[in-house]
Amino acid sequence: MLVITLRDGESLYIGDDIRIEMDRCIDVLMY
């Protein structure tokens, strides 16, 4: 699972087969 943590503290969870690009992303963690 790909976990993207935003500056405001929210986390966006997306599937392994989905890629997104967001300017607000500061941390991208692969589990």
**Tens-place pLDDT, residues 1-31:** 667 666 666 666 665 555 555 555 555 655 4
Residue 11: CB partners within 8 Å, gap ≥ 6?
Answer: 3, 4, 5
**Residue 20: predicted pLDDT:** 55
Per-residue model confidence (pLDDT) at position 22: 54
pLDDT at residue 17, as a whole number: 52
pTM listed for this prediction? 0.24
